[in-house]
């Protein structure tokens, strides 16, 4: 199945109650061939209106952050843990994340990103449970062969003083992480199964 075929299925999904309040489903967008996926929490008001991820003020910041490392949206794939907007932008409920799990898993299986950048704590909880974003942001981890990189959500950096600098600094580490992943691929390093291991950046 192609990513486009999958996303067409997602557009028709009515598996959880969020289908009743959404305007549009927001499957994700970007390059299906990218080696980086950015995973946010869920669509906000603007995203719900337009059916596209990260198009509001947090999205504008994400675009600027991508620019810091010489990337544009078309170079990466951007998706969310839940594909429909939780009313009033509340946190997604655990059951909504569970219902939507299959869709994100299938997208990841098709894209096969080398690096998954987890934007904020809901995204981090989905892949790296029992971690804390305030402690673990900016620290890439390998789990079952996949490299995850938790960082603050751009929306949090817009509303909380001091987080923007952390977010910019964490973003600037992405090229180095990709370099390490490439070296490790050459050396066929996979890490321990079932245990999140921190990747040392040496910077």
Q: Which residues bind ligand SF4 (CB under 6 A)?
A: 10, 13-16, 18-19, 25, 82-84, 96, 99-100, 103
Provide the total of helices (H) and of strands (E) in the chain, helices listed first.
10, 7
User: Minimum CB separation from ligand SF4 for residue 86, in Å?
Assistant: 8
Cα separation, 136 vs 80, in Å, equals 20
User: Minimum CB separation from ligand SF4 for residue 149, in Å?
Assistant: 24
User: Minimum CB separation from ligand SF4 for residue 92, in Å?
Assistant: 8
| Beta carbon nearer to ligand SF4, 14 or 179 | 14
Do 78 and 111 touch, CB atoms closer than 8 A? no
| Beta carbon nearer to ligand SF4, 22 or 131 | 22
User: Minimum CB separation from ligand SF4 for residue 57, in Å?
Assistant: 22
| Beta carbon nearer to ligand SF4, 99 or 148 | 99
Q: Name residue 118's beta-bridge partners.
A: 39, 150
Cα separation, 198 vs 91, in Å, equals 28
| Beta carbon nearer to ligand SF4, 27 or 140 | 27
Do 103 and 94 touch, CB atoms closer than 8 A? no
User: Minimum CB separation from ligand SF4 for residue 93, in Å?
Assistant: 10
* Nearest residue to 73 (alpha-carbon basis) of 28, 124, 138: 28
| Beta carbon nearer to ligand SF4, 84 or 128 | 84
Alpha-helix runs per DSSP H in 78-203 = 94-111, 121-127, 133-136, 154-159, 163-172, 174-186
User: Minimum CB separation from ligand SF4 for residue 96, in Å?
Assistant: 6
| Beta carbon nearer to ligand SF4, 7 or 34 | 7
DSSP per-residue codes, 10-47: HHT--SSTHHHH-SS----EE-TT-SEEEEES---HHH
């Amino acid at each position: 199945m192609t990513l486009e075929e999958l996303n067409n299925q997602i557009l028709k999904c009515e598996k959880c109650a969020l289908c009743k309040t959404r305007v549009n489903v927001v499957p994700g967008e970007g390059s299906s061939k990218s080696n980086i996926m950015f995973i946010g929490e869920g669509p906000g008001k603007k995203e719900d209106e337009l059916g596209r991820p990260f198009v509001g003020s947090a999205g504008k910041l994400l675009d600027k952050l991508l620019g810091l490392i010489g990337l544009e949206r078309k170079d990466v794939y951007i998706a969310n843990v839940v594909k429909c907007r939780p009313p009033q932008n509340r946190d997604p409920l655990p059951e909504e994340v569970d219902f939507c799990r299959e869709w994100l898993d299938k997208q990841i299986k098709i894209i096969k990103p080398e690096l998954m950048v987890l934007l904020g704590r809901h995204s981090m909880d989905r892949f790296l449970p029992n971690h804390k974003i305030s402690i673990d942001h900016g620290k890439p981890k390998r789990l079952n062969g996949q490299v995850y990189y938790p960082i603050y959500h751009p929306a949090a950096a817009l509303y909380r003083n001091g987080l923007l600098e952390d977010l910019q600094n964490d973003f600037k580490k992405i090229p180095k992480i990709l370099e390490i992943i490439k070296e490790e691929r050459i050396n066929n390093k996979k890490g321990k199964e079932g245990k999140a291991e921190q990747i040392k950046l040496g910077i």
